[in-house]
Amino acid sequence: MKNYILISFILLSLTHTGCKVTNEYKKAKTINSINAYESYLSEYPQSKYSENIKKDLSTLYEKKDWEVIKYSNKEGDYYEFISNYPTSKHITEAKRLIYQIKELSAWDESKKLNTIYGFENFISEYQSSKYIINAKNKISELQEQNAWNTANNIGTIGSYKKYMSNFPFGQNHNFANQKIHELKIIIPEWKKILKNNTIHSYKVFILKFPNSSLASIAEQKIDELELQEWTFIENKNTIPAYRKYIKENPYSTYINLAEKRIIDLEVNEIFNGQYRSLPAMSKTSTNNFLLEINSIEIFNNTGYSLTIRYSGLDSKKIILLSKQKQSITLKNGYYRVTASVNTTNVNNYAGKENLTGGIYSSEYYISTKKNDE
């Protein structure tokens, strides 16, 4: 009787244990996670469900590894996956992605090298690549550039015509035409201009060929010749020399300076001759040292044509008819001022002014008193 009870207890215990294993298995399958399967195997390593759990666990490991590898997208990781899961359904895609990585790396390296040889090797190795058209275009560009460089290095009409013949739609086609035109027309003309070596001839050249590469050199030549001529005139430093310069070079860079020099020399002549003292101008505003410009109103209250000259930082010459008014502006500074009329029986007048920023007025008249004007 005791044995029967013991056997029954054992059978009952085994039945209870078997139910628990089955329930835990179903629970793990429902959860279907790595942690759930690993916990089950740890608790029931010899279970009749162990092999199934191991298969499911391997499937989840594979799925997890594939997701991680897809995210990192590294060639070495794909090779490792293929080694770890040789029968995986992702093998074909892994190989395809390895090819893409290699293809992109080879393409980047080809672009970095940027040589015909490099692009040809890429085409040879990756014949079905999506970059094939780009690689062929790159080869064409490099071939054209090499041909253009060769044409430029030779620098003859024939070399440029050969380039145009080989690359009728090349990027440098217009440049080649310009080069041919330059060699045929412009260069022979330039050689003649160099022999003449005059400001006028260089200006004519620039007007005829404004877009030529030699136009800037012609401008430099003009500057050099103008400076030479101006230096020669400066060394003479006479009124006739400056007047002649202005007449012959009406568009020179030094025209304004030449006109100033004439005024300064005319003022020198008056100061070096006989003159009467010129009264100071009337300042109609208070001193404003912040102002750098002075406004001067001049009134010719004589019966003659009046010439006023200011020689200083600015040099100006003003001619006023009888009873005429005119305003001028001058920068701050010390000036020598002269006044003269177009008659021989009235003396020149001369004086000095220190302009300090403001408004001035000056009236000129002829006094009937002896020795005064």
The residue assigned the tokens 């177009």 is 342
306-311 β-sheet, strand order: 275-277, 348-355, 333-341, 306-311, 315-320
Paired tokens of 150: 């060769």
Q: Which helix (H) or strand (E) holds 328?
A: strand 325-331
For the cut 70, the answer to whether the pLDDT of residue 260 exceeds it is yes
For the cut 70, the answer to whether the pLDDT of residue 221 exceeds it is yes
Which DSSP category does 74 fall into?
A: -
Distance, in Å, from the CA atom of 155 to the CA atom of 175, rounded to the nearest integer, reads 12
At 181-194, the pLDDT tens digits run: 999 999 999 999 99
At 277-291, the pLDDT tens digits run: 998 898 888 766 678
Beta-bridge mates of residue 330: 294
At 73-115, the pLDDT tens digits run: 898 999 999 998 998 999 999 999 999 999 999 999 999 999 9
What's the CA angle centered on 366, arms 364 and 372, to 5 degrees? Answer: 105
Q: Which domains does the chain have, with CATH numbers?
A: 2-72 (no CATH), 197-273 (no CATH), 275-364 (2.60.40.2190)
State mean pLDDT over 290-295: 86
The residue assigned the tokens 């780009």 is 134
Q: How confident is the model at residue 372 (pLDDT cuts 50, 70, 90)?
A: very low
φ/ψ of 75, rounded to 5, equals: -55, -45
Q: How confident is the model at residue 17 (pLDDT cuts 50, 70, 90)?
A: low
State mean pLDDT over 286-298: 82
pLDDT at 1: 53
Distance, in Å, from the CA atom of 235 to the CA atom of 367, rounded to the nearest integer, reads 42
State mean pLDDT over 104-131: 94
CA-based nearest residue to 267, from 317, 199, 330, 224: 317
How does the average pLDDT of the chain come out, rounded?
Answer: 89
pLDDT at 152: 93
What pTM does this model have?
0.57
